[in-house]
Each structure stands twice: as structure tokens, then as C-alpha cells.
Amino acid sequence: MGATTLRVCIVGFWSWGSAIAKIIGTNVKNQQKFASTVKMWVSEEAVNGRKLTDIINHYHENVKYLPGHKLPENVVAVANLSEAVQDADLLVFTTPHQFIHKICNEITGRVPKKALGIIHMESIDEGPRGLMLISDIIREKIGMDVSVLMGANTAREVAAGEFCETTIGSKVIQNGILFKELLQTSNFCITVVDDADAVELCGALKHIVAMGTNFCNGLHCGNNSKAAVLRLGLVEMITFTRIFCKSQVSTTTFLESCGFANPITICYRGSDCKEAKTFPRIGKTMGNLQKEVLNGQTLQGLKTSALVYQFLKQKGLLAKFPLFVTVYRICYEGRPSTEILTCLQNHPAHM
Ligand SMILES: *[C@@H]1O[C@H](CO)[C@@H](O)[C@H](O)[C@H]1NC(C)=O
Ligand SMILES: *[C@@H]1O[C@H](CO)[C@@H](O)[C@H](O)[C@H]1NC(C)=O
């Protein structure tokens, strides 16, 4: 790409997109390689009678999704998605998974041919051939190289500038290194690895593990039991990833933030936690719970759990994944949440 300055567009305006916008906006100002204006696509909505884009561009705060944090002034909110991406060299996708097909359809043919993407999306999708990675949807639809950013990085802590580690997985390692230059700060420390698919899968699978730990919370079981769920969950994450990727993914990848640290941080926070914790106590089915507690919003862990279960069932691998299967059965087959404890006792790791 030579000496041209690289233009960055953030496709996503929710809390994580706004948190990373703080980092990107600051970093581009200090590196000649990047154009100093950063576009952030913001789907227009009215907040207190004003357009959200106007509020962001005037007050430099995403009052709706990341209140209390100033965005750098060179981060510009753009309501028209095609316009936002049309001159971008680097695209940072951070959107809830249900929007990705619509976004891809809208920007296909608009994104410059040489553009590179990176995603921060902790989910998997269902393609015509079953379980499908979000990055593959973007690769197929837009035809760009896509890296993956994943780690123990809750949005509020990233926005507050608290220390965290994260992982970038890239099939083309130079692209990962370029994104590292864009994103790294002294408190946002990045390791680049070449197992992009493994990094992405870890981000989705950890939601199943988090559901498991939160059934434990609901049952008021101890920290040791929860640690066992985390450990066995990580083992199943590794086994699943190696089967799905059909390769001997390096163990060191799982020791990076995307693997080891990610389930730990999520089981202490977030939407999966609160609801999964409530679930065993109120004894409701996940379907009802979603409607009542989440206003119909889907729990990441639920969808991931179902997709993974179907994949394992098809391949005749259910017996190899007792924890994943138990979480699925508690969520979808009305099994009592205490089965998470039985699963720990009878786990093949202890036989
Ligand atoms: C969005 O931008 C594109 C590209 O500039 C343009 O063709 C389109 O008409 C715009 N859409 C709206 C709703 O303004
Ligand atoms: C788990 O550890 C925390 C921190 O030490 C403690 O406050 C909590 O009571 C422990 N939980 C249980 C169930 O013992």
C-alpha cells in the first residue's frame, strides 16, 4: 500500500465500537500511516429529540451506547453505511451478529477492492452447510481478507483505558500486524497469531462455558466448582476448535487472551451472566426468559449452544463434549440446572 495514508471505518456504533473508536481515534493521530479522520457508521436514531449522529459529532459522546466517555474529535459519525465504507482501506466490524448479513449485502460492491477487514464479533452463524464463521460470511460476500480481534476485553473497561490483553488472528500475518499498529496502546496489548479461525471460535464458544459457570452461580455453588467448569469448558473449546478447523491448532493460541482469559472475564459480567444466573432459580424455560428478561434479544450463549450441539450431533461427537451438551440440555430440553454438577462429577476427564 506504499506511502498512502490508510482510511479507517468502524462498522458498528454500539458500546464496543465506541470503545475501540476511542483507541483508533487517538492512535491514528500519532501515526502518519493512517488518515487522521476515522469514520464510524452510526445507524440513525433519535435520542432526546436529536439525531444520534449529530450528538456524536457535536458533543463527541455516544450518549446512547457508551455514555460518559468522550470520543476523540476526529471520529466522525456517518449515518449512511455505503458512504461510510466507500473510501475505507481498513474496516473494523463490531456489530451484533444478527446484522451482519444485512450489512454485507448493503456494502458489497461499495467497499474498495484492496480494503482489509477485522471483526470483533463473538458469535457463529448458520450457513447452508451448517455452522459458519462470521468472518467467512464477510470473506464470501465482500471478498476481502478478514482478521479477528478477540480477547478478555469488556467494552466498559476498554473504554476506561484499563489494562487488557487481546489477540488478533490473521490468515495473512502482515494484515494482523497492520491492525496491531492501528489498535495497540500501552493498556491494550495485542498478540498476533495465524490461527484466525481458532481465535474466532474461542470468542463464540466461551459463551457456552459462561452459561455453565452461571448455572453454578444460580445454584450458589462454590468458586472451586466454577473453576472446574471453566477448565473443562476450555478443554472442550480446544477439542471443538481442532475438530472444526481440521488442523492441529497450536496450544499457545489457546493460552492467548482469546482462549484462556476470555471465558474468565465473561463469566464475571454481562448479559449471559445475569440471565443465566436467574434461570435456575426462577425455573423458567430459556424461551420465556428471553422474552421476559431480555425483551426478545437473543442470548449469545443460547444460539451458540444450539449451533454447536447440532454440529456435534451430526458428526456423532456428543459424547466427547459433556459440558457443552449439558448446557444445551438445560437450556433447551428442560433439564434441571443441577445437571451441570452431575456433569462435572461424571466428566470423562475424571474417569
Ligand atoms: C448513501 O450513500 C450512497 C453512496 O454515496 C448513495 O448512493 C445513497 O443514495 C445514500 N443513501 C441515502 C439514503 O442517502
Ligand atoms: C468466591 O470467592 C469470593 C472472593 O473470595 C467470595 O467473596 C465468595 O464468597 C466465594 N464464593 C463462594 C460461593 O464461596
pLDDT given at position 232: 96
Report whether 297 contacts 123 (CB < 8 A): no
83 Cβ inside 6 Å of ligand 1: yes
Is 303 in the active site?
no
| Residue in 102, 206, 274, 277 annotated catalytic | 206
Residues facing residue 259 across a β-bridge = none
The CATH number that domain 6-194 falls under is 3.40.50.720
Task: Answer whether 223 contacts ligand 2 (Cβ < 6 A).
Answer: yes
Q: pLDDT truncated to tens, each residue of the chain (351 aa)?
A: 445 799 999 999 999 999 999 999 999 999 999 999 999 999 999 999 999 999 999 999 999 999 999 999 999 999 999 999 999 999 999 998 889 999 999 999 999 999 999 999 999 999 888 899 999 999 999 999 999 999 999 899 999 999 999 999 999 999 999 999 999 999 999 999 999 999 999 999 999 999 999 889 889 988 899 999 999 999 999 999 999 998 889 999 999 999 999 888 877 764 444 555 455 444 455 555 555 444 444 577 888 999 999 999 999 999 999 999 999 999 999 999 999 999 999 988 888
What's the pLDDT score for residue 97? 87
Give bridge partners of residue 125 from the DSSP assignment: 132
Location of C-alpha cell 445454584: 219
Q: What is the pLDDT of residue 267?
A: 76
Q: What is the pLDDT of residue 284?
A: 52
For residues 111 and 152, what is the distance between their CA atoms, to the nearest angstrom?
A: 30
* pTM > 0.85: yes
pLDDT tens-digit readout, 245-275: 988 899 999 999 999 998 888 777 644 445 5
Q: What percent of the chain has pLDDT over 70?
A: 91
**Residue 222 CA: which ligand 2 atom is closest?**
13
CATH 1.10.1040.10 domain span(s) along the chain: 198-350
Distance (Å, whole) CA 136 – CA 97: 13
Q: Which CATH superfamily is domain 198-350 in?
A: N-(1-d-carboxylethyl)-l-norvaline Dehydrogenase; domain 2 (1.10.1040.10)
From 103, 132, 293, select the one nearest 201 (Cα to Cα): 132
Query: What's residue 298's pLDDT?
Result: 57
User: H or E stretch including 209?
Assistant: helix 196-218
Residue 83 is placed in which grid cell? 458512504
CA angle 189, 195, 198 (to 5 degrees): 95
**Which one of the ligands is nearest to 227 CA?**
2
* pLDDT at residue 145, as a whole number: 98
Outline which parts of the chain fall under CATH 3.40.50.720: 6-194
CB 150 within 8 A of CB 169: yes
What spacing in Å lies between the alpha carbon of 216 and ligand 2's midpoint?
A: 12
Rounded to the nearest angstrom, the gap between the alpha carbon of residue 84 and the centroid of all alpha carbons in its chain is: 22
- CA-nearest residue for atom 3, ligand 2, is 223
Q: Which amino acid is at 28?
A: V
Q: What's the confidence (pLDDT) of residue 330? A: 93
Which ligand ends up closest to the CA of 222?
2
> Which SS3 state, helix, strand or coil, does residue 75 take?
strand
**79 marked ligand binding residue:** no
Nearest-CA residue for ligand 1 atom 10 is 80
The DSSP secondary structure of 164-192, one letter per residue, reads: EEEEEE-SSHHHHHHHHHHH-BTTEEEEE
